[in-house]
Amino acid sequence: MHSTSAIKSGMPKGEGKYNVVVIGAGSAGLVAAAATAGLGGRVALIERNRMGGDCLNFGCVPSKALIASARAIAAIRNAGAYGLRETDARFDFGEVFDRMRRRRAQIEPHDSQQRFESLGVDVFRGEARFLSPGEVRAGEARLRAKNFVIAAGSRASLPDVPGLPDVPYYTNETIFDRLNEKPGSILVIGGGPVGCELAQVFQRLGVQTTILENGPRLLLKEDPDVSIFVQERLKSEGVRIVTGATLKSVSRDSGRILVTMQPNGGGSADAALSGEALLVAAGRTPNVEGLNLEAAGVRYNRSVIEVNQYLQTSRPHIFAVGDIAGPYRFTHVADFQARTAVRNILLPFWKARMDYSVVPWSTYVDPEVARVGLNETEAKRSGMEYVLFSAAMDELDRAVVSEEAGGFIKVLAAKGSDRILGVTLVAAHAGDLIHEFVLAMKHGIGLGKISATIHAYPTMAEIARKIGDRYQRTRLTPAAQKLFAWLYRLGRR
């Protein structure tokens, strides 16, 4: 049976020359393959593991499914705040995980091999390994192409801690499928987005959770007030948080995982913490090993494959996108990079540059943290002059009546202008609300125009208009106030 691609090209699968060979069937690879096929190109897609990559199988999809269940549990426990009779959420830990897997399975066909073959993509399963700059091996097949797109992704990083390889532990790549029984307690190594999100989930599912973070606070890429807000929220729900300590050793004792930590700066005795389970959420490592990039002449380092502004590697016909190229490891950035690479392959004399000046990201704790552009810490570090406009979420009537009044917004505008430099939003639905500012920044819409736009009442989106109004009030100078007062007096004659 011939594939759609073979029928279109008149060439048997794997033979002849492809327009593009894509390595990796995660978010970036799937977009690159589908776009190339949709534009009429002959394309092969290589995947060694599961179609859909990290996001579908081990990342965004399963984690957000668990977050949804955990939020429902929290809402039930907080029934009294809504004028309802207080009660406790009744649930089964295993059923919550089963629901997550069902939702993932519901989405899975969209990324399946069958679907992509129906789009005209030749799919090969196995390890990809370059044989030369123009040829790659995929299992037993040898594929030649004019262009290549490396989208091999990343994997969970393991900190170099004595004893860690010898104890049972989970990462995001294993916990969603291998954790089938509720542990009494869990230690989470890493206080970044993944660690914070899953720590809150497990605590809400009745698992005593402890976050172990080497840095001085959680969410180090956010402003300190954002980190403190999240940290206090997690503590209020029962999460134990240990910061400013270095992991010294990990061991197993009587069926429990024992972690020894030394406070940074010394001077205090080592502390030992134990839990029934261990989750490592300590960052990501690009999957550069095994690709034999040396044979292709592609330069790389421990962090990423090196690419230029057009996403070309040191070999101009070989592109790299997604986690393996950086600088951001977000599904939406991988998607955009893949589209850019496809365009640059098809139109090499009219290439598009990657622009990372307006990139949104969200951390899906409750309430969510979302941001785009500069935050205060970055602006100060760069010496950028700015004016800060802020508001608390409890200023919104909708937030008050919906019991979603926790959080705040901070908007940095260029000094002497309404041009938006960056936004940080801590609020329910922050990941959705941030996009009005994303659109405004991308297309040069200032706070004045946001203020002049009608926003429906009562909505959470009014927070943008409130910030716009705050900017407008700064324009009411003493001279303008005197002029308006004179006009009003004149109007009373």
H/E stretch holding 67 reads helix 60-77
Q: Which helix (H) or strand (E) holds 376?
A: helix 376-382
Alpha-carbon distances, residue 430 vs 4, 311, 363, 366, 414 (angstroms): 42, 30, 9, 10, 23
Give residues with Cβ within 8 angstroms of 76, minimum separation 6.
87, 88, 89
**Residue 76, pLDDT score:** 96
E strand or H helix at 412 = strand 408-414
Give pLDDT, residue 1.
44
> Which residues, in sequence order, are CB contacts of 389 under 8 Å at separation 6+?
410, 411, 413, 447, 467, 470, 471
Which of the 8 DSSP states describes residue 6?
H
- Torsion-angle region of 327 (φ positive above 0: left; ψ -120 to 50: alpha; else: beta): alpha
Q: How far apart are CA 340 and CA 350, in angstroms?
A: 11
Contact (CB, 8 A) for 219 and 233: no
Q: Considering only CA atoms, give the Rg of the chain.
A: 26
Locate all alpha helices (DSSP H) within 10-45, ordered by sequence.
27-38
Alpha carbon distance 418, 445 (integer Å): 9
Q: Name the one residue in this structure whose structure tokens are 């850019």.
A: 340
Q: What is the pLDDT of residues 157-170, one digit of tens each?
A: 999 999 999 999 99
Domain 4-51+112-155+285-346 CATH (choose: 3.40.190.10, 3.90.1570.10, 3.40.50.300, 3.50.50.60): 3.50.50.60
Token duo for residue 28: 């970036």
- The confidence score (pLDDT) of residue 51 equals 95
Tell me, what's the pLDDT at 265? 66
CA angle 226, 227, 228 (to 5 degrees): 90
Q: Do domains 4-51+112-155+285-346 and 164-283 have the same CATH topology?
A: yes
Amino acid at 491: G
CA distance 156 to 303: 13
For 354, the token pair is 């990657």
pLDDT of res. 268: 66
Bridge partners for 21 per DSSP: 44, 148
Between strands 240-243 and 208-213, the pairing is: parallel
CB 145 within 8 A of CB 132: no
- So what's the pLDDT on residue 3? 56
Distance spanning both ends of the chain, measured CA to CA: 91
C-alpha to C-alpha distance for 493 and 490, rounded to whole angstroms: 6
Q: Where are the domains of the chain?
A: 4-51+112-155+285-346, 164-283, 367-478
At 32, is the secondary structure helix, strand, or coil? helix
CATH code, residues 367-478 = 3.30.390.30
**Which own/partner pairs from 268-276 qualify as long-range (CB within 8 Å, at least 24 positions apart)?**
271/242, 271/245, 273/187, 273/210, 273/212, 273/242, 274/185, 274/187, 275/183, 275/185, 275/186, 275/187, 275/208, 275/210, 276/183, 276/184, 276/185, 276/186
Q: How many CB atoms lie within 10 A of CB 70?
A: 22
pLDDT tens-place values along the chain, 493 residues long = 455 655 566 688 989 999 999 999 999 999 999 999 999 999 999 999 999 999 999 999 999 999 999 999 999 999 999 999 988 999 999 999 999 999 999 999 999 999 999 999 999 999 999 999 999 999 899 999 999 999 999 999 999 999 999 999 999 999 999 998 999 999 999 999 999 999 999 999 999 999 999 999 999 999 999 999 999 999 999 999 999 989 999 999 888 999 999 888 666 667 889 999 999 999 999 999 999 999 999 999 878 999 999 999 999 999 999 999 999 999 999 999 999 999 999 999 999 999 999 999 999 999 999 999 999 999 999 999 999 999 999 999 999 999 999 999 999 999 999 999 999 999 999 999 999 999 999 999 999 999 999 999 999 999 999 999 999 999 877 887 888 888 888 888 7
How much is the pTM? 0.93
CATH of domain 164-283: 3.50.50.60
